[in-house]
Amino acid sequence: MSYLSQIEALLFVAGEDGLSLRDLALMLDLTPTALQQQLEKLEQRYQEDDDSCLCLTETANSYKLVTKAVHADLLRRYAKAPINQSLSRASLEVLAIIAYKQPVTRIEIDDIRGVNSSGALSKLQAFGLIREAGKKEVIGRPNLYATTDYFLDYMGINHLDQLPDISGIEIKEEETALFMPADSMTETKGQNYENK
């Protein structure tokens, strides 16, 4: 397995958050200099390949995979197409998690859902239903997400406390993490590991 494919896989999964040179070097067990050479190779490969829509970018000390600028108009048309105006199940799941647990990070959302939520977060932001609400004061300072005023309009409510009460809803055991307070989730996870 080549370093280029490993870097590509890691950056793909990291999504919009990207990964720092240090994090990539640690995961791949490479020196920063050797990793920098691999990143330059990957960037050059994308630039020379007209059949690839991807390019490598570095912003805020993080490397990310993004689409080439030449595709901007096409992607705008895609975002505005009627077929994309409804929310997918994944987007609705992410929106529900944010609505009930905000402010929340992408990692916390991913942990609840068990899958990467970057695409759904991007779509919800493009629709104006969620926004970045600062940074969490932990290592890496990940973005916090919260709902917007447009979300309230979308739901037909004036305040978040008007969201449906979920305390009486019967929830399957595997779905309980979705609506548990964040502090009790940590406790429960510890208990689950002890029970195994």
What pTM does this model have? Answer: 0.50
Q: Are 67 and 55 in contact (CB under 8 A)?
A: yes
- For 55, phi and psi rounded to 5 degrees? -145, 160
- Domain end, chosen from 36, 71, 106, is at 71
Residue 82 pLDDT level (bands cut at 50, 70, 90): low
- Domain end, chosen from 42, 71, 100, is at 71
- The CATH number of whichever domain residue 122 belongs to comes to 1.10.10.10
Q: What is the pLDDT of residues 95-118, one digit of tens each?
A: 999 999 999 999 999 998 889 898
What residues make up the domain containing 30? 3-71
Which residue do the tokens 């895609």 mark? 78
What does the pLDDT read at residue 172? 56
- Domain end, chosen from 17, 41, 71, is at 71
Same domain membership, residue 99 and residue 59: no
Same domain membership, residue 59 and residue 121: no
Number of structural domains (the chain) is 2
Same domain membership, residue 96 and residue 56: no
